[in-house]
Structure 1
Amino acid sequence: MDPGAARWWRAGAAAVALAVTLGCTADSDGSPDPSGSPSSAPSSSASPSQPSGTPSSPPTPSASASEPATEPPAPAEPVRFSGARANADVRHLAGRIGPRLATGPSYRRAADWVAARFRRLGYDVQRQTFPVPAGDSWGVPVGAGRSANVVATPPGFDASRPHRLVGAHLDTVAVAPGAEDNASGVAVVLELARLARSEEPALPTVFVAFGAEEPVGDGDALHHFGSKRYVATMTRPQRRALRAMAAFDRVGVGRVVPVCTGPLSPAVVQRQVLRTARRLGVPTTACGDNTTSDHWSFEKAGYPVARFGSIPYAGYHSAGDVPAVVAPAQLARTGRVAWAWLRS
């Protein structure tokens, strides 16, 4: 190559090298290339104008549009018994449905409603049907028929493992809307079932709305048909696993919470409940020899039991047993004690 051509060739090569260098610098400034692909990460070497050995300034962090800043989660609200929610259930059962004779259509309507409530809470629900003889429902002759218990168990429940049972009778005598006796007890049981799906009790708990608790005559043989049916159909593993039973019957009147047992049961459940109430500052009364609710069927079978409720009131077994009789504050007192006991 002659000297002139060589000079021309070296000048052209230098120009091409300069263009390539400028192009690489433009690609490394973070601008997207024409194809829309994201740019490569900035080079870690110092820029030509930066003195050698001087560390570069750290990049300023920027929020990503696709990753919004997160806030710490709000603390979970404590699980609390709601007297107002329970009172709304009293109004529905005693105000909208009304008298619920155990063998009549209104009872079946109430049982359907309670079963639907349990199912919405996520429980497995079964019916136990049984016959009820003819007799006298607090002065009203009634014919024979059939009634049912509504039994709710938590998902995955194993009846052969330790558990508790709480229940309330859903039926009334023939003439009574049954707000206090016993929509109040059913309402407390429904609210406890709601709480137990939000926060597990100390032991798995079965919830039962008993049918045909009210008598159709004198004596045990004509009383407590639903709870007697439940006890009679328990399997041997189930009998060994049941640790305690609590009945809620007439729990919406007064300012103190009665906690009762019958004459046969060891007072272990009663003592547990009374200790729990003292810790919460809820006033209580203790009573024994109480055989007039569904706990008695379990007590006769040898289980430790307690009955919540039983304060006398003017509308007992009459058309005057309407929702206005029931005090939401008393429902709340009973429910707070019962929930703390289930959690202990």
Structure 2
Amino acid sequence: MSVAAFAAVLAIGVGILLVVAAGADPATAWRALAEGMFGSPYSVGSSLDSAAVLALIATGFTVAHRAGLVNVGGEGQLCAGGVAAAATGLALPDAVPGVLGVPVVLVAGFLAGGLWAGIAAWLKARRGTSEVITTLLLNFVGTGLVAVAVHEEALLRQPVTSAETLPQSAPLPAGAQLPLIGGPESPATAVVVIAAVVVVATGIALKHTAVGVRLAAVGHTPAAAARLGLPVRRLEGGGLAFAGGLAGVAGAALVATAPYVLAEHFSSGYGFSGLVVGLLARGSLTAVAAASLLFGFLTSGGINLQLAAQVPASTVQIVQSVLVLFIAAAMLFTARRTRSTP
């Protein structure tokens, strides 16, 4: 049995124990979970949207990791992209056509996310500061930026018309909203297609282009790559900026999806979940797609698990975390065993 399969079995066992501890019948909980994942066009569409957002972040993580960097700042980069997308979308005229408005919003998110990651890239190149520390700390700055933007009327908060007016931006114009692709009963948007294209194109680029080979060389041995004349700092910075850009696109997609507003907690932890997907994929874009789909569908299923079986939706998050821990532990054990084998 493979490491991933063994870890999945153990994680499922933990999930069953949690369901029993919550006083629910495992069979009922399983039906509720399955129905939440596949029971209707709405649940499938919602799951695909979630998976697409995770795939964008995890793909960026994989590119940075290929260059030897660990980008843990997906949450902050996503927030930066969301703020830029909201500001850009709200600045567009109401009659802007979708063929123009949607690309402008997504490009704004990409540039903002890339610049946000560029801060960490610059600090690493000029000061030798660990990108793990800087990208992690920038997450808190990014979430704070969203909070300030949606609470200040001078920035992005919608005009306060009553005590019930939420601290959020006004809705984006129709031309800046991602189009639906799954029919009237499905919330699946064009971000699903965008993420699929990005994953495939990035996989091809990493395997079959000179840039992919150079990134791998830098990630494997930076000193040797420098002796060969490769621009190590530029490749590292570009890989990290590209990762931030894709996280920014994910943030822009969240803003351009119903209800089409920037709210304080719009990120919903996608940046950290995308990091987990990237870690599990271990550099494989095929694994990124598979893990994103798994986590996306589990997220939607967890909501119905709470509604239909009275089991806390956080149970799914616990199972996902346990799965990551088991896989990490198994990989560590395997690596140590390999090193100790003569």
Same topology, TM > 0.5? no
TM-score tier, shorter chain, comes to under 0.3
What TM-score, normalized by structure 2, do the two folds share?
A: 0.24
Larger gyration radius, structure 1 or structure 2: 1
What TM-score, normalized by structure 1, do the two folds share?
A: 0.24
More strand by share: 1
